[in-house]
Amino acid sequence: MRFLGVALVSSAIVVGACRGGEKQAEQAAPGAQTTPSATPAPAPAAAPAAGTPAPITGKTVEIKMVGDDKGYRYEPANVTIKSGDGIKFVTVSGVPHNVAFDPAKLPADVRAQLDANFGADRMAELSSNLKMNPGDTIVLSFGNVTPGTYEFYCTPLIAMNMKGTVTVQP
């Protein structure tokens, strides 16, 4: 059953990656007149993260992202850190993995700060890029994050219960 889940997730990623490309503009026949066209508007850029990323000012805790015969999980799944600490998520096996938070479960100030703290690893709101290789990492600062307990999960493997919590203390 676990194999079917991995196969399904992998197939969806491959199909999405291979989907369409831009069509090349047709070339005018030699000697044909061309009329200048308006300059196309630039494509909209991805929405920037709200807020300013906060650096890690304390310690960095490591969490492994694992998928094996025991299931898919974060090790450890639950950590307690202080505001200003960071978490380094390390891909071990069972890829693809990422780290995401549900925006509906976060206060607005935490949502904005965590989203900004994803920095260059941000794929979408409160979500990191997918990590495909053992040894790949995601480093997330909890600088300027209000104390509380926040749930995180692996987007491709949430149905297989790959979840965890981080408790941020003052």
Question: Rounded to whole angstroms, how far apart are CA atoms 167 and 131?
Answer: 24
pLDDT tens track for 82-136? 999 999 999 999 999 999 999 999 999 999 999 999 999 999 999 999 999 999 9
Tokens of 104: 């509906």
% of the chain residues with pLDDT over 70? 71
CATH of domain 49-169: 2.60.40.420
pLDDT band per the 50, 70, 90 thresholds, residue 33: low
Residue 161's Cα: distance from chain center in Å?
Answer: 17
* Residue 47 predicted with pLDDT over 70: no
127 membership: H or E segment, kind and range: strand 127-128
Q: Where are the domains of the chain?
A: 49-169
pTM: 0.71
Average pLDDT, the chain: 82
pLDDT band per the 50, 70, 90 thresholds, residue 51: confident
pLDDT of 30 reads 53
